[in-house]
Amino acid sequence: MKRLTLFLSLIFLSFFVFSQKNESADRKDIKKLLSTFMNCLIKKDSVTFYNLFHNEPIVWVGVFKDKTQQDRLKKDSTRKNYFASSYKSFYRSISDMGADEEKFYNIDINEDGNIAAVTFDYSFWESRKKINWGKESWGLVKINGQWKITSVIFSLEFESINPEPNKKK
């Protein structure tokens, strides 16, 4: 009986181990895209950064979270709670600043080999000081074997108005 139980346990464990999915090449490529994006900001590499995006137009929309928006309205009651921009404008605006870094965590990738949706929490840092944080979502397409960003939408909370709660990163 012990041998049968041991035998069945080994079969069950081997089935479990071999049934686990290996990370797909596409998921690895998307993770590399995220890493490249972050590194381009640190290294101020505009050529590589621009190459991460599909041909224009790219949707780029930020929405201010409630506490930050309420603070903005105190200064000007006509301010909208969102803005639209472009990846080139974003890059130009940060390239004039000091050392910049955007950190991504709690990353969720949903892909089918041709399109992907990537969501994650982010924080943006200038000269090692957190400036803002929120949730970000990218739309991706695979063109000629390469993943390209087609849209970036994100929420934005100023750290000075509402510090980011501690999250598992």
Residue 86's domain is classified under what CATH number? 3.10.450.50
Q: Is the pLDDT of residue 78 over 90?
A: yes
Domain count across the chain: 1
Per-residue pLDDT, averaged over 73-101, amounts to: 89
- Look up the domain containing 146 and give its range: 23-158
Residue 2 within a domain: no
Residue 140 within a domain: yes
Q: Please report the pLDDT score of residue 13 as a whole number.
A: 41
pLDDT over 70, % of the chain: 84
Q: Please report the pLDDT score of residue 99 as a whole number.
A: 67
Q: Is the pLDDT of residue 85 over 60?
A: yes
Give 10's pLDDT tier (boundaries 50, 70, 90). very low
- How many CB atoms lie under 10 A from the CB of residue 10? 10
Residue 134 within a domain: yes
Q: Is the pLDDT of residue 11 over 70?
A: no
Residue 9 within a domain: no
Tokens standing for 11? 């079969």
Residue 133 within a domain: yes
Cα–Cα distance for residue pair 138/71, rounded to 1 Å: 27
Q: Is the pLDDT of residue 107 over 80?
A: yes
Residue 63 within a domain: yes
Cα–Cα distance for residue pair 125/148, rounded to 1 Å: 24
Per-residue pLDDT, averaged over 109-137, amounts to: 96
Residue 13 within a domain: no
Q: Is the dihedral of CA 36, 38, 43, 46 positive or negative?
A: positive
Q: How far are the Cα atoms of 4, 17, 88, 121, 133 from residue 50, in angstroms, in the given order?
A: 61, 41, 7, 22, 23
Question: Half-sphere exposure of residue 106, counting CA atoms within 13 Å on the CB side?
Answer: 13
Which of 10-14, 29-33, 53-57, 145-149 has the lowest average pLDDT?
Answer: 10-14
Residue 163 within a domain: no
